[in-house]
Structure 1
Amino acid sequence: MDSAMGQAPGTYAEIEDGTVTPSPEYLLRLARVLRLSEADYEAVHSQLYECAAAQSLAEDVPLLPDPAWQEVIENQSGMAYLSDRRWDVRMCSPAFAGMFPGGRPPKNAMEWMILDESVRDTVLIDWETAWAPFALTQFRAVRLAFPDDAELQRMHERILGDERARRIYEDPSAVQVHRAGEDIRPMRHAMHGVGHVRLFMAQPDNAPGARFVTLRFQKSDGAWT
């Protein structure tokens, strides 16, 4: 279950035995993965938090974050982008666009990370150990939370059809959980060359699965951008 949810080993066991109380966001994702009924989900939510759930289990949840996020992105001096639950890049800062040749960011961040052969071989350094397990753990969790999303299913089929990605995707030991500020991964920046990037992620309240990502790039001389 921890692998399916993209969590550290032991997380589900701690929640199951009452050692840890899950966040409402985790409970929502877990309820979808376990296919709980709306009534059972509401009962568990009320028991844990003593209030009604703010969001239904129904899959017709908003795809796009609030447009007000555009102002947040525009005020970022560094690299930042906002994607929907399918990893389509909806907004990005000029600095983020500058990561890519010609200043053109990819349409879909996940497919760029996982399925673009040139990216795997030249941009995301140590792709098989530093990048693919991290990205595919995220993808697995979101796909299980939204099993009826046709676009996520299409991406799932592409991953299964790609030998390099499939090998890691189907490996139960290849799970990497995001830890804010601790994720420092090697990459080749289009403008700054080889260095390391530090990732920070947050989720907009009104669009489950969407993500606001900021990145700091450390150049080979140690300077951060």
Structure 2
Amino acid sequence: MNRTALRALLRERRELIAPEAHGLSRPTGRGRRARGLSQQQVDELTCRAVDTYNRLETGRYLHPPADYLRQVARLFGLNEQEWVSLCRYAGIGDPPGPLHPTSGLEVPGVWQEAVDGIRHMAYITDASWNLLAHNRRFAEMYPGGRPPANTMRWMLLDHAARDTTLVDWRTVWAPLILPQLRAAIAARGEDATLRRIEAEVRADPDLGPLWEAGGAHIHPDGDERPLHHALLGPGHVTICAAQPLTAPGSRLIIMLFRPGLQKAHPRAPMLRAGTP
């Protein structure tokens, strides 16, 4: 827990909230000079016992539950980055999921220009794997140069992906992709797109048993997998995965393609700063 940072964040944001906006009167009385909501009003609006919020703001509430932190964060109008900071300052680590259900569904438009400037295949999807941005090299991977609207649905359910593009789909690709879908649903249980894909996966005779078997591989960062490129033929891709910070759950994927039937090289060593 970082009590100093926690107190500063909460107090600053609490003082920006007008009580009148929530049907409350502005507190008055001797010594009352603070702006915004009082601590007691926060307890009232979050339906908590008196002194609950004071314990949180002063750092006396050890290991506060995530649902309470979410209440406070939404009341104070925090953004996703501030939500992460709140959870870390309060001592519970990274949040269990996004602050708002709609978070992760859009990224700043400048990302398209950034993706265009990458010389390898590159694309960005939102938290539901809907394609938001991609470069020309990524489009060329597909027959006719037409990438799919949703990359998760394409990887799992498109027959061209299974039979042609994603080489060794049953043994290499599908067992590593399904845990990603499962982890996303665990974090975003109300996401209608993810739930529809899950239903299609469960009903699929090939994927259903794999889905029930589970798996723990939840991201592709650093993986090398066989792939048949529509223009360049068979080869392998090394996958680099990252996330735009303003959109939790979204992902930037860069795919380094190397032609050939054999793997290009052993896993590259980890990058690490030298000792100063």
Which TM bucket (shorter chain)? Answer: 0.7 to 0.9
Q: Check conservation: 2:239, 2:253, Cα contact below 8 A.
A: yes
Partner of 2:274: none
Q: Partner of 2:113: helix, strand, or coil?
A: helix
Q: Check conservation: 1:85, 1:211, Cα contact below 8 A.
A: yes
Aligned-partner Cα distance in 1 for 2:262–2:143? 23
Q: Check conservation: 1:180, 1:199, Cα contact below 8 A.
A: yes
For residues 104-160 of structure 1, give each alpha carbon's deviation from its aligned partner in whole angstroms, at most 9, with x where no partner exists. Answer: 111110111000122112221111221112211111111111111111111111111
Aligned-partner Cα distance in 2 for 1:65–1:191? 30
Partner of 1:171: 213
For residues 33-59 of structure 1, give each alpha carbon's deviation from its aligned partner in whole angstroms, at most 9, with x where no partner exists. Answer: xx9413389886334389x98x96332
Aligned-partner Cα distance in 2 for 1:127–1:158? 17
For the pair 1:57 / 2:99, whether they are aligned, the reply is yes
For the pair 1:218 / 2:258, whether they are aligned, the reply is yes
For the pair 1:134 / 2:176, whether they are aligned, the reply is yes
Partner of 2:30: none
Question: What's the offset of the Cα at 1:165?
Answer: 1.3
What letter is aligned with 1:202? A
For residues 54-84 of structure 1, give each alpha carbon's deviation from its aligned partner in whole angstroms, at most 9, with x where no partner exists. Answer: x963323241111121121111122000111
Aligned-partner Cα distance in 2 for 1:89–1:206? 17
What letter is aligned with 1:176? H
RMSD of aligned alpha carbons: 2.8
Partner of 2:42: none
Question: What's the offset of the Cα at 1:170?
Answer: 1.3
Question: What's the offset of the Cα at 1:223?
Answer: 11
Q: Partner of 2:235: helix, strand, or coil?
A: strand
Partner of 1:46: 89
Partner of 2:51: none
1:99–1:49 distance in 2 versus 1, CA, 3 Å = same
**1:1-225 map, 5 Å:** 36-39=66-69, 45-48=88-91, 57-172=99-214, 174-178=215-219, 180-181=221-222, 183-220=223-260
Aligned-partner Cα distance in 2 for 1:223–1:125? 13
What percentage of aligned pairs have identical amino acids? Answer: 35
Q: Partner of 1:194: helix, strand, or coil?
A: strand
What runs of 5+ residues in structure 1 fail to find an aligned partner? 1-34
Q: TM-score, normalised on structure 1?
A: 0.73
Q: Partner of 1:48: helix, strand, or coil?
A: coil
Number of aligned residue pairs: 186
Q: TM-score, normalised on structure 2?
A: 0.61
